[in-house]
Chains A and B, each alone.
Chain A
């Protein structure tokens, strides 16, 4: 067997990290999108949805520039840690978060906005703060949407290629993910190795998604954004 298990471990670590952070980051963004009455809200929604339509190389390019030593963020990170963010695992996590953001935020926001407003009003008249209302009423009634969002973000990160290539490069054990590994093998005419690796990735993703959707059976529906 010529499968490089290290790339699998790295890819899973990346996908878990990214989906966990997207769960924490996506909740407030989705809450704001679902409930804000700001008139320019649609601009923020458009920005959040951008990664769906942008080629990953475009996104990856800008992330690379933003992380590099010539940007304020890159300089700040270098002054903090002594090395650049580009071509590190942290840089890869940041790029992947941006890349998978809409896949988490949109299902979250869609399920928040289907929660009956009367329940939210009732919670307020019973003396609950907005935060308590969120955790006791809105989030529990949105669990299918939350599971869908996290599962999509996870799967999307597992399979990303362009952003990783641009931001991460191809450093074994640091930024070399499964999809990069497969690409390398094809480039080197190692079709057997590429096939085995691809097959393992395929089965792994299928099993993971099947488990998630099996546990969350009623949620197997993409709800339209309102």
Chain B
């Protein structure tokens, strides 16, 4: 009996999951709730560190300044017709705040658990909300939104993968660099300690859009954790 107990302890220490053993035996096993099985804690307030691509992110780049984006000819034509006033007039002022671009914005993000299987990410800039659904079955097609539909999966030992589709078409950069409604976004979220005891969040974003991109658009953005929401500054979307 003592041997069995030690073995069970050893298995737990080594991270052998009981449900994995059950699955191997062919028995259906319920997925553990994402919140309870989270290998890392991303909740809290995070501020974007704009240490790269400053002139494409902190200010609205001028029309035609598309450096480093692998645009197709069709995308260049669309970007060439960029008209922020027309976007605002038509209620499309949030085109640069969609899921493909939002983590690149100079913004603060508040990450919380909406429920046991849904991680919620709010932005102050543009006041957008993203919902990362874990363990969710495929849902029927819904109306497209700026943030689309996101499915999430923990990656062991400590990372988060998020896949997003069903977005409205939007802008990768605020000066009209387009992505289509058929674009797919894959993101990886990783944590890192900072000198002095702080914490950084690293988000790698991969945008696939054969219509407007010659190859997947890959960027990585970094954030620093803040103690509280005292600098939270909700501002609506703006196209200019």
A and B found bound together: no
**A residues bordering B, Cβ < 8 Å?**
none
